[in-house]
Chains A and B, each alone.
Chain A
Amino acid sequence: MSDTQQGKPIEIGTAGDHEELVRANIGWMLALAERLLRDRGLAEDVVQESFVRAFDGLANFEGRSTLESWLHRITVNTALSKLRQVKRLAEQPIDEHLPEFDRHDCRIELPWSQLASVEEIMESDDLRRRVYVAIDELPDAYRVVLQLRDIEEYDTSEVAALLDITETNVKVRLHRARAALKKLLEPVLRAEESK
């Protein structure tokens, strides 16, 4: 089976074809769902539901995108539905993690004598674990926008459509998510200073 048959309907008819499709794609789909949901159990549910949707839609798949990008979209949509089901997409307060300004509208920012590099952080088990803890502290409504825009590389209008919010709201949430994550990551980014 090939996913590069642009413009041609994918021909997957037999049980063996289905099994090949599942085995070839389930790993990255599970990883994607887990990134969006931060929960392995829910991610497994999402993968199952995504394949059901995919099998139902295969006959109508016209190959305008690659099979992988089509499955990617189905997985993202199913994961977002799951987040809505478990009521994790409602807007939650994030203000305590946002930048602070004094009464003269000047930023309050402690001096940075140095900034840890991505390599330093990702190569340290402890620092990497603290990055994941910080990401998990972001409210889902913001974390998901950050995930879809910065990691999965959907554009603003696509994220707006996926989440059924305005493009302006996507931009506001993305900026707040990044700013909040920056504040949550400060102890990690300044790790070199505390040595």
Chain B
Amino acid sequence: MTNENGMMRRLKGTMLKRMHGMITCREFEEFVLQYLDGELPPKQVKIFEWHLRICRECREYLAAYKRTIEIGRAALGSDDESIPDDVPEDLIRAVLDARKT
């Protein structure tokens, strides 16, 4: 991290901590789930979205976080393709035999 970059981050951190109606990136992190679930009260939504406007890191983080949820759904979702059409016959027989015992 360059000195200039370090100074900017210190300024940003100080501003977010001290200014009324602002939250730090660390505090933002605690609200992400509630924000996406629509469970944040309106006043906190405003504060959350204000942080998003001024913070490039959190804005890009949230976009990647949302894309991750979509990818998880696509990869692990229960579409027809994920259902094996080659269920071993011996497994089916074992299930039916277990019923008889």
- Residues on A lying within 8 angstroms of B by beta carbon are 15, 18-19, 22-23, 26-28, 30-32, 35, 44, 47-48, 51-52, 55, 99, 101-109, 111-112, 115-116, 118, 121-122, 128, 131-132, 135, 146-147, 150-152, 171, 174-175, 178-179, 181-182, 185-186, 188-189
Are A115 and B64 within 8 A (Cβ)? Answer: yes
> Do A106 and B24 touch across chains, with their CB atoms under 8 A apart?
yes
Q: A44-B91, A131-B75 are in contact. List 14 more A-B contacts (CB 8 A).
A: A19-B92, A19-B96, A28-B78, A35-B78, A104-B13, A104-B14, A104-B24, A106-B13, A108-B57, A109-B57, A111-B56, A122-B75, A151-B76, A179-B32
Report if A35-B64 is in contact (Cβ < 8 Å); known contacts: A27-B83, A105-B16, A175-B32.
no
Which A-chain residue is minimally distant from B101 (CB atoms)? A52
Closest to A179 in B: B65
Q: Which residue of B lies closest to A181 (CB)?
A: B68
List 6 A-B residue pairs with CB atoms under 8 Å apart, sorted by A's residue number. A26-B87, A105-B27, A131-B71, A132-B75, A152-B78, A189-B67
A101 to B30, CA, bound (A): 13
Residue among B17, B33, B73 making CB contact with A174, cutoff 8 Å: B33
* Nearest A residue (CB) for B82: A31
Q: How far is the CB of B11 from chain A (nearest CB, A)?
A: 9
Complex Cα spacing A182 to B76, Å: 15
| B contact patch SS | helix
A52 contacts B57, C-beta separation under 8 Å = no
Q: Does B49 contact A (CB under 8 A)?
A: no
The answer to whether A52 and B72 have CB atoms under 8 Å apart is no
**CB neighbors of A among B13-57 (8 A):** 13-14, 16-17, 24-29, 32-33, 55-57
Q: Are B72 and A181 in contact (CB under 8 A)?
A: yes
Query: When chains A and B are docked, how far (Å) is the Cα of A106 from the Cα of B84?
Result: 46
Q: CB within 8 A of A151: which of B27, B63, B78, B85?
A: B78
Min CB gap B90→A, angstroms: 10
- For residue B36, give the distance in angstroms from its CB to the closest CB of chain A: 9
Q: Report the nearest A residue to B80, measured CB to CB.
A: A28
B12: chain A residues within 8 A (beta carbon): 104, 106
Q: Is the CB of B67 within 8 A of A22?
A: no
Q: Which 7 A-B pairs have the closest CB atoms?
A: A104-B13, A107-B25, A105-B24, A109-B57, A182-B68, A107-B57, A105-B26
Q: How distant is A33 from chain B, measured CB to nearest CB, in Å? A: 11
Give min CB distance, A175 to chain B, whole Å.
4
| Residue in B32, B61, B71, B95 whose CB lies within 8 Å of A121 | B71
Q: Which of A18, A47, A104 is close to B10, meaning CB atoms less than 8 Å apart?
A: A104
Q: Which residues of A contact B95 (CB under 8 A)?
A: 22, 26, 47-48, 51
Give every chain B residue within 8 A of A31 (Cβ-Cβ): 78, 82-84
State whether A182 touches B64 (Cβ < 8 A). Answer: yes
